[in-house]
Structure 1
Amino acid sequence: MSKYLLNKFLFTVDRDPDLVERYREDPRATVTMWEDTYANRILNCTDGESSTWLRFDDVEREALATHDYPALFELGAHPFLTLTLFIAMFERDHEPLGFQTEYARRLGHMTLPYPDIAT
C-alpha cells in the first residue's frame, strides 16, 4: 500500500479539469490510465524524470475505481485531498453544501484516532 501514491492520484487529478471529468465519468479506466501514465512521474519535474516501481495494490485500485472515499480515508488518503476532488466531481449533483454533508455522513463511523495520513 502506498499512501503517497493515493495522495498523488488525488492531487494530480484534482488539478486537471479534464481528468476530473474523466474520473467522474469512467473511474476505472481513468485509474488504469493514470497508473500507466502518471504514477511514476516525479512531481514538478520534466516528463523525462520518472521512477519505475509505483503501482496501486488491488484494494487501493478498487477504492479509487468505485469512488469509495470512505475506504480511501481508511487507507490513509489525506481527507483534504479526497474532499476537494470529490466536491469537484459531485457537488453539482447536490444542493448547496449537500455533498459536504453526505461526505461527513459517510465518514461518520470514523472515530479518533483517525487513520495515519503521514506519507
Structure 2
Amino acid sequence: MSKYLIDKFLYTVDRDPDLVERYRSAPGELVAWWEAERANTVLNCMTGESSTWLRFTDDERQALIDHDHVRLFELGAHPFLTLTLFIAMFERDNKEPLEYQKAFGARLAHFDLPYPDIAT
C-alpha cells in the first residue's frame, strides 16, 4: 500500500480542472491513465525523471474509482486532500451551503480516535 501514491493522485488531480472533470465523469479511465502516465513522475516536475515501481493496490485503485472517501481514509489518504478534490467534483450537486461537506463528515463519523495514520 502506498499512502504517498494515493495522496499524490488526490493532490495532482485536484490542481488540474480538466483532470477533476475527467475524474468526475470517467473515474476508471482517469485512474488507469494517471497510474500509467503520472504515478511514477516526480511530483510537480515534468522533466522526464521518473521511477518504475509505484502502483496502486487493487483496493486503492477500486476506492479511487468508486470515489469512496471513507475507504480512502481507512487506507490512510489525507482527509484534507480527499475533501478538497471531492468538493471540486461534487459540491455543485448540492443546493444548501456546506451540504456536501456535512455529508462527507457524516460518512466519517463512525471513526473514533486514534484515526487511521495519515502520515506518508
TM-score range, shorter chain: over 0.9
TM-score (norm 1): 0.98
The unaligned stretches of length 5 or more in structure 2 are none
CA offsets 1:19-48 (integer angstroms, 9 cap, x no match): 000000010111000000100000132331
The percent identity for this pair of structures is: 70
Q: Which residue of 2 aligns with 1:71?
A: 71
Counterpart secondary structure, 2:62:
helix
Q: Distance in 2 between matches of 1:46 and 1:68?
A: 29
Number of aligned residue pairs: give it: 119
Q: Distance in 1 between matches of 2:114 and 2:3?
A: 17
Counterpart secondary structure, 1:51:
coil
The unaligned stretches of length 5 or more in structure 1 are none
Q: Distance in 2 between matches of 1:27 and 1:46?
A: 23
Report the RMSD for the aligned CA atoms in angstroms. 0.7
TM-score (norm 2): 0.97
Instruction: Determine if the alignment matches structure 1 residue 96 to structure 2 residue 97.
Output: yes
Q: Which residue of 2 aligns with 1:111?
A: 112
